[in-house]
């Protein structure tokens, strides 16, 4: 069993609640992998899990760039335990491939931006490609979004969270 951090959008959370499962985009998730452990000379499991969570939150930011309009722009990361996560060190140290859909009963929690992060997230969505090629202002914009802490929600709270949006 592997704990994975799945980048998501609010629309994806709606589908999870409605369908009882979620298929990660392209099967991509993040985890504490052997490559991630090797990349950090120090750091306990909690610190490495935080790295995987932050990587998934950054990937969520990318997903928001293609999200359907209608819901607030908030990063979301699902935390789940899966049986079939395969490391993808060719993509990055924490990247794993999940072989199929993740059922709701395997979801441990969700981390979602609060309303206060929406402006920074909207700016970061526009800046993320420029940040990738070294634009310092764009990197700062993405960093501003990443500086917002994600709120924790138990899986049983997701329907209520989505209803209140």
Domains of the chain by residue range: 2-155
Report the pLDDT value the prediction gives residue 68, as an integer from 0 to 100.
Answer: 77
What pLDDT score does 42 carry?
77
CA-to-CA separations, 98 to 40, 46, 120, 140, 162, in angstroms, rounded: 24, 21, 30, 31, 25
Q: Is the pLDDT of residue 37 over 90?
A: no
Instruction: Give residue 22's pLDDT.
Output: 95
Once rounded to an integer, what is the mean pLDDT over residues 41-51?
85
What pTM does this model have?
Answer: 0.93
The tens digit of pLDDT for each residue in 86-128 reads 999 888 899 999 999 999 999 999 999 999 999 999 999 999 9
How far apart (Å, rounded) are the C-alpha atoms in residues 95 and 36?
A: 9
**How much of the chain, in percent, has pLDDT values that exceed 70?**
100
67: which DSSP letter? P
Examine the pLDDT at 43 and tell me if it is beyond 80.
Answer: no
Asked whether the predicted pLDDT for residue 33 surpasses 80, the reply is: yes
Domain 2-155, classified CATH 3.90.210, yes or no:
yes
Using 50, 70 and 90 to split pLDDT, how confident is the model at 61? very high
């Amino acid at each position: 069993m592997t704990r994975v951090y799945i980048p998501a959008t609010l629309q994806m959370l709606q589908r999870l609640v409605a369908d009882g499962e979620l298929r990660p985009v392209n099967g991509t998730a993040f985890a504490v992998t052997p490559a991630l452990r090797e990349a950090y000379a120090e750091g306990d499991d909690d610190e490495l899990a935080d790295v995987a969570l932050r990587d998934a939150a950054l990937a969520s930011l990318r997903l928001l760039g293609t999200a359907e309009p209608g819901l607030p722009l908030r990063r979301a990361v699902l935390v789940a335990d899966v049986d079939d996560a395969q490391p993808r060190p060719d993509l990055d140290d924490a990247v794993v491939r999940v072989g199929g859909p993740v059922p709701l009963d395997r979801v441990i929690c969700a981390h979602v931006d609060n309303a206060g992060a929406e402006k920074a997230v909207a700016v970061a969505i526009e800046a993320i490609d420029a940040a990738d090629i070294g634009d310092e202002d764009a990197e700062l914009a993405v960093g501003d979004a990443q500086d917002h802490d994600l709120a924790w929600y138990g899986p049983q709270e997701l329907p209520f969270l989505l209803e209140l949006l």
